[in-house]
Structure 1
Amino acid sequence: MALDPKRVVLGWPNYIEDATLSGGAYVDTLPLANVQERRFSVVAKTAGLDPAATQFTLVLPQRRPVSVVAIPAHNMSAAAQVRVRVYRDQAGADLVWDSGRRDVWPIVYGIGDVVWGNSNFWNRRMQEETRRSYTPLLTVFLDDQQIASRIHVELFDESNLDGALTLGRVFVSDAWQPEYNMSLGPQYGYDSGTEVTTARDASRTEYFERFTPKRTVQLSLDWLSENEAFLRIHRLQRTQDIVGEVLFVQSVKPSPIEFARSMIARQASLDPLVHPYQTTYTNQLNLQEIL
């Protein structure tokens, strides 16, 4: 069933650790296997920009439900494109879904962010000079969930000024939406991490050790059925704990706002399931971005 753009999406678990990887061309010191590394800062680096080098295939040990493929911590340019093909069988003979070539970066600017006369005024596409100010996250949602064993990802970015592509941990998972959307009142914020030290002089001079802020979101699911409560949320807490990755997307409909609040996160805390009514359970999710 296609994902509803009016309801929150949570993706887990990430199948990447159990996958067998192949394809493309990668430098020996930063091999393709690094996309299975839990730390996003440990990246794979392609040996050049030829499309034959900037691709990879992952084969799962058994068929899994797949709804999304995501790549964080990449260096792909504003002009980059991606193609994802999903196969039912491990050999790649039974193609069940093909994304076609599409842009890696969605529209990230609002109407008020673009200036008349600039090259991107009408299309609001990302400008290369501002790309590095954004947290990179490529997401490709399948039109419908597929039962898959093999996924082939092709990346097209032959004009990348870095001369090669770097890819953080690849994320491949199913996706779940509650029957009733999250309640009004989600709280979006940043966990700064920046430290301030005050000197013991007359001016009390301040010194800053700055770190990249991590996005956070707190949301309430207040109308969960018993099945959703225990076969989804309770299972999420058991399997992912506070370390496992969870993809958070408030709507799969692309927009600058959705890009700003979509992230791969972890649960910062495990809040209990509450049973306030006979047939209804509630739960609050506290998510913190993984960088």
Structure 2
Amino acid sequence: MALDPNKIALCWPNYIDSAVVSGGQWLSSLPLEHVQDARTSVVAKTASLDPAHTQFSITFPKRERLQVLAIYAHNLSATATVRVRVYRDAAQTDQINDSAWQNVWPVLYGLDDVIWGNDNFWNRRLSEDDRKRYTPNMIVLFDERMLARGLHVELLDSSNPDGAIIIGRVMPADVWQPLYNLDHNVSHGYDTGTQITRAGDPARTGYARRVTPKRTVNFQLSNLTEDEAFLRIHRLQRTQDIVGEILYLWSPVPSALNFARAMVAQQTELNGITYPYYANYEHAMSLMEIL
């Protein structure tokens, strides 16, 4: 079934940990297998920007339900492109989907962010000097849910200023959208870890230990069916706990506004599923971004 552009999407589980990754050319000290480490500081790095080096395959032990591939904590430049092909078999002979070449970064500027004279006035594409101010999260969504055994990912980034592609984490996953969307009383924000120490001088001068804030979202699903409550949400809590990765999408449509809220996150707590009245279940979720 095609994804509804007017609903949130929650994507899990991440199949990468049990998969076999191969292909391309990666530094021996920063091999491709590092994308299977949940710590985004443990990265994989290509040997060069040669297209033969900047590609890789993912093979699952068995066919898995798949509808999205995310790559996050990467250094892909503002002009990078990606292509993902999906296969029914491990030998990658039975292709069932081809994303075609698409931009890694969507349009991220609004009409008020550019003025006449900017190089990107007409296309509003991300400038390279602005790229590091955004959370690097590449998302490829497929039109339909598939049973897949493997993927082949190609990355083209010939102008990358680092001279190589760096990837922190890869997330092939299933996608779920609720029958009824979340309540309107949703809260998107930031959790700051910055600490300020005040000196004892008359001005009480502040000395900050600044870190990157993490995005958060808190929302309520108030119209769940029993199947959704216990075959989706209840199962999600059991399998993901507060450490498992969940890709949160405000909408599956690529846009600047949706990218601002899209994040790979973890639950901050496991809230209960309530049964307020007949044939209706409710659940509140709290997510915090993984950087």
- Find the counterpart in structure 2 of residue 160 from structure 1: 160
Deviation at 1:40, TM superposition (A): 1.1
- Find the counterpart in structure 1 of residue 5 from structure 2: 5
- Find the counterpart in structure 1 of residue 283 from structure 2: 283
- Find the counterpart in structure 1 of residue 252 from structure 2: 252
Deviation at 1:115, TM superposition (A): 1.5
Q: Which amino acid aligns with 1:262?
A: A
Deviation at 1:268, TM superposition (A): 0.5
SS of equivalent residue, structure 2 residue 92: coil
Q: Cα deviations across residues 253-289 of structure 1 (Å, max 9, x unaligned)?
A: 1110100000000000111101001100000010000
> How many residues were matched structurally?
291
Q: Cα deviations across residues 12-69 of structure 1 (Å, max 9, x unaligned)?
A: 1000000001100000111000000101111100000000000100100000010000
| TM alignment of 1:104-115, pairs within 5 A | 104-115=104-115
- Find the counterpart in structure 2 of residue 217 from structure 1: 217
- Find the counterpart in structure 2 of residue 194 from structure 1: 194
Report the RMSD for the aligned CA atoms in angstroms: 0.6
Q: Which amino acid aligns with 1:171?
A: M
Deviation at 1:206, TM superposition (A): 1.2
Deviation at 1:204, TM superposition (A): 1.7
Deviation at 1:201, TM superposition (A): 2.5
- Normalised to the residue count of structure 1, the TM-score between the two structures is 0.99
Q: Which amino acid aligns with 2:147?
A: I
| TM alignment of 1:221-232, pairs within 5 A | 221-232=221-232
Separation in structure 1 between the aligned mates of residue 83 and residue 203 of structure 2, nearest angstrom: 57
- Find the counterpart in structure 2 of residue 42 from structure 1: 42
- Normalised to the residue count of structure 2, the TM-score between the two structures is 0.99
Deviation at 1:185, TM superposition (A): 1.2
Q: Cα deviations across residues 200-247 of structure 1 (Å, max 9, x unaligned)?
A: 223222110000000000011000000100010011111100000000
Identity %: 54
SS of equivalent residue, structure 1 residue 257: helix
- Find the counterpart in structure 2 of residue 208 from structure 1: 208
Q: Which amino acid aligns with 1:219?
A: F
Separation in structure 1 between the aligned mates of residue 237 and residue 157 of structure 2, nearest angstrom: 38
Q: Which amino acid aligns with 1:141?
A: L
- Find the counterpart in structure 2 of residue 18 from structure 1: 18
The runs of 4+ residues in structure 1 deviating greater than 3 Å are none
SS of equivalent residue, structure 1 residue 270: coil
Q: Which amino acid aligns with 1:217?
A: V
Structure 1 stretches lacking a partner, 5+ long:
none
- Find the counterpart in structure 1 of residue 77 from structure 2: 77
- Find the counterpart in structure 1 of residue 175 from structure 2: 175
Separation in structure 2 between the aligned mates of residue 132 and residue 49 of structure 1, nearest angstrom: 19
- Find the counterpart in structure 2 of residue 242 from structure 1: 242
Separation in structure 1 between the aligned mates of residue 186 and residue 40 of structure 2, nearest angstrom: 26
Structure 2 stretches lacking a partner, 5+ long:
none
The yes-or-no answer on 1:126 pairing with 2:126 is yes
